[in-house]
Structure 1
Amino acid sequence: MGISHDIGLFFPFKVNRPLTAEEKKRRFVQGRRRRCPGEAAVLDFETVIRINTTYLEVIDKFHSTRGMITAFIMGFCIMIVFFLSVITKIVIFNNGSILGFIFYFVAFGICFYFLIRILLKEWFRYTHYPVRFNRKTRQVHIFQVSGEIITVPWNKIYFTTNRQRLNECIVGHILAEDNDTVLNTFSFGHVGTRDELSRYWEFIRCYMEEDCVAELAATVLYCPPVEYGREGYITGLQMLLQVESRLEWLPTLLLLPLSLVESVSRYIGTQTSRRPQWSAEVEMACRPEPGDPVNVGAEHNGPGRWRTVLANEPRAVYDAKNQYLKDANQKIRDKMAHNRAMNVTMSGTTGDSNTWG
């Protein structure tokens, strides 16, 4: 296992430091079930690339917002090129000041250099940075932003949250032998509220620790189509335009010009970037069983994606989907309760390692 820290996408994680009090308070603990209020015990938030009985592969936390930051940078770069072209034309055809031209050229050139460095955080890199949770070997394979692949035992990772302005994401810390010093950090999947992350964590934890893989796979209704090819323009645009309710239609419409620019930047970044390739060792360790009854990926995505993106499904379809997820979650709860009862019966005790938290 490599311990060199990830370089991060836009901002690197702080490493070689002790865990903070907040990280300890917000820890997600392996082997401890979480009580999630409401009907949905687990949710995947459309982050699953592939799920089968051997491994669960999820997308990186940057996927949903890819193109947003670089759209502004792309705009500034175009403006700089335009101004330099105008200044050059003035100097050549209108006998402008050479010293003024040199000054503006150097100033804009320095700005252009730093803007390009930010732009290249998404362009000419990798299309995404997946994480694989191997249920059978109990290992986690991480494709880092640096391109390095590291493998860490599931129980050796310190899972907690990292603040993202108004929202948070789940991160995994790799600690030193003192179990307090952070050597490396990776993030993955959904960015959202604490309540959403509890459901998302329970989805991941259940996959790794509970006997309910088929039930979990039944809750996966959409997979980002990035496993075998690059994301298309329309798919990227849909990701940027996705809303939770029809109340968001008006602000989405007002921001449509900006979203279109972001979609262009996202598409350029996707088309100029390499697809991540797992090492032969990881592929061998994650080789699915022949005839695996659980195997869900983007090829199972249903029709009518635009309706889902714009929260414009017919009421009957919307209610049927929610009822389906409610029933699937209830099956997960029932399966875990049954498994826990069996463990209690077999061990002859009133508790097990999977305590509720």
Structure 2
Amino acid sequence: MSDWVGLFGNYETVGKQLKPHKTETLNRRQSESETLTPHRAVIQINGTYLELIDRWNYQRGFITLLSMAAMIISFGFLYLIIYFGFFDSSPSSSTGNTIMGIVFLIVFLGILWGSWHFFRRECFSYTHYPIRFNRKLKKVYVIQPNKKLLVANWENFHIGLQQYSRSGWDVRFSLLDDQEKVTETFALPYTGFSQYSSELLQHWEFVRRYMEDDTAKASYDAVTEVFPIHHRKETLKESIERVCLLPDAPYDKPRTSQGRLFFWGLFPVWLVFLIGRPFSIKTSKIPKFPDWVEQECKIETNDPYDFEQHPKPKLQSEPIKPFEYVIYTALLLISIVIFLGFIDLLSLAKGENSGLLKALFFWW
């Protein structure tokens, strides 16, 4: 669950001092890369502000379906526990069975509560949690998962590469108190597998240059497309496109043959995202910054760096080669067989046999 750090609770650094062996301070005045990479995380860009998606948006949908499955299973077990505990008057019931029933009741109530908590971070919440950088006022505005608004000056943040798991690093913005303890924090959308990741440093450079350069030109030139979800919900097509981006990280490259092969080879995994993401988006509402923030971020008329006024052609995927269609079909069929076989194994563990594989081969 390391990729979802900060979504279901505070970041691991909040209330603590930053650990030197897990933190590498970044100098906002110093360039870390000649390349600027937005990683398709831009919602809006103009001469006044840059708005990005949250770090969890790429993987959105997985937690939705996983928590729904956990809640359904928990409800099923709770029904059985309550039925046999309160309505079954079998003489074989004993004190030991009653105690065990109470323990299982507490356990599954806990699972149900935890699943609901996870579910509410992606569903019946906000469609995304935007991060806005105002280059003119040198301010940062963040709508957080708890729906609170974080506002601070650009210069007040400690900015550094932060290790959040054994192999995960992000660009972390932290506010520190007098004892150097973190009071508030957030991370840029793109994460890397190392503090030396060129894509991660390029992503930081994209934001740094936007806030530190005299104009927004360099960052504007680096953006090939925006994800305009500030005034509307993403469409079903966009949800599918976002899921299809996952096998192709870093995301600013055109979709490759290798990424497509990876997608179809693990289709049951991506299917979880394809089902969960649209559901989470449709049940949530679009976040809105307060009116006073919008006043501070007013876009100038005829802004040459306003992407909405001056859009660019979208990135085009690599053309699909004829032999790929055969490979995709074979990988899809193999993945379906593996998925149905997994369901059969689960049913066998319960002493039943769903017979899905047998039914599939029957129709073939």
> What is the aligned-residue identity percentage?
25
User: Which of 205, 213, 226 does residue 223 from structure 1 map onto?
Assistant: 226
1:70-107 CA deviation, whole Å, 9 max, x = no partner? 32222222334455667889999999799679666665
1:157-192 CA deviation, whole Å, 9 max, x = no partner? 1111233543322110001245x2211111232122
- Structure 2 unmatched ranges of 5 or more: 249-255, 322-364
Q: How far 1:22 moved relative to its partner?
A: 3.0
Q: How far 1:214 moved relative to its partner?
A: 2.6
Q: How far 1:20 moved relative to its partner?
A: 1.3
The answer to whether the Cα contact below 8 Å between 2:49 and 2:132 also exists between their aligned partners in 1 is yes
Which range is displaced more, 152-161 or 103-112?
Answer: 103-112
Q: Give the AA of the match of 1:188.
A: L
Q: Quick one: structure 1 residues 107 and 20, their matched pair in 2 at CA, closer, same or farther if it must change by over 3 Å? A: closer
The answer to whether the Cα contact below 8 Å between 1:123 and 1:273 also exists between their aligned partners in 2 is yes
- Structure 1 unmatched ranges of 5 or more: 1-6, 315-357
2:257 alignment partner in structure 1: 246
Q: Quick one: structure 1 residues 10 and 93, their matched pair in 2 at CA, closer, same or farther if it must change by over 3 Å? A: closer
1:202-251 CA deviation, whole Å, 9 max, x = no partner? 11111111134234212211222311111223322221222333223333
2:10 alignment partner in structure 1: 12
State yes or no: 1:236 paired with 2:239.
Answer: yes
Q: Quick one: structure 1 residues 54 and 107, their matched pair in 2 at CA, closer, same or farther if it must change by over 3 Å? A: closer
Matching of residues 1-357 of structure 1 within 5 Å: 8-13=6-11, 14-24=13-23, 26-36=24-34, 41-82=35-76, 108-165=108-165, 166-177=167-178, 180-193=180-193, 194-242=197-245, 243-244=247-248, 245-297=256-308, 300=311, 302=313, 308=317, 311-312=318-319
1:284-316 CA deviation, whole Å, 9 max, x = no partner? 11001122122115994746x7x63xx5479xx
Q: Quick one: structure 1 residues 96 and 287, their matched pair in 2 at CA, closer, same or farther if it must change by over 3 Å? A: farther
The answer to whether the Cα contact below 8 Å between 1:91 and 1:98 also exists between their aligned partners in 2 is no
Distance 2:262 2:90 in 1: 45
Distance 1:132 1:72 in 2: 30
Q: TM-score, normalised by structure 2?
A: 0.71
Q: Give the AA of the match of 2:230.
A: E
Distance 2:158 2:36 in 1: 20
Could you say what secondary structure the match of 1:64 adopts?
coil
Structure 1 vs Structure 2 CA RMSD: 3.2
The answer to whether the Cα contact below 8 Å between 2:52 and 2:132 also exists between their aligned partners in 1 is yes
The answer to whether the Cα contact below 8 Å between 2:53 and 2:189 also exists between their aligned partners in 1 is yes
Distance 1:196 1:160 in 2: 15
Q: Quick one: structure 1 residues 138 and 119, their matched pair in 2 at CA, closer, same or farther if it must change by over 3 Å? A: same
Distance 2:81 2:178 in 1: 59
Q: Quick one: structure 1 residues 87 and 183, their matched pair in 2 at CA, closer, same or farther if it must change by over 3 Å? A: closer
Distance 1:196 1:22 in 2: 21
Which range is displaced more, 153-162 or 105-114?
Answer: 105-114
Q: TM-score, normalised by structure 1?
A: 0.73
Q: Give the AA of the match of 1:227.
A: H
Distance 1:207 1:85 in 2: 56
Distance 2:15 2:106 in 1: 38
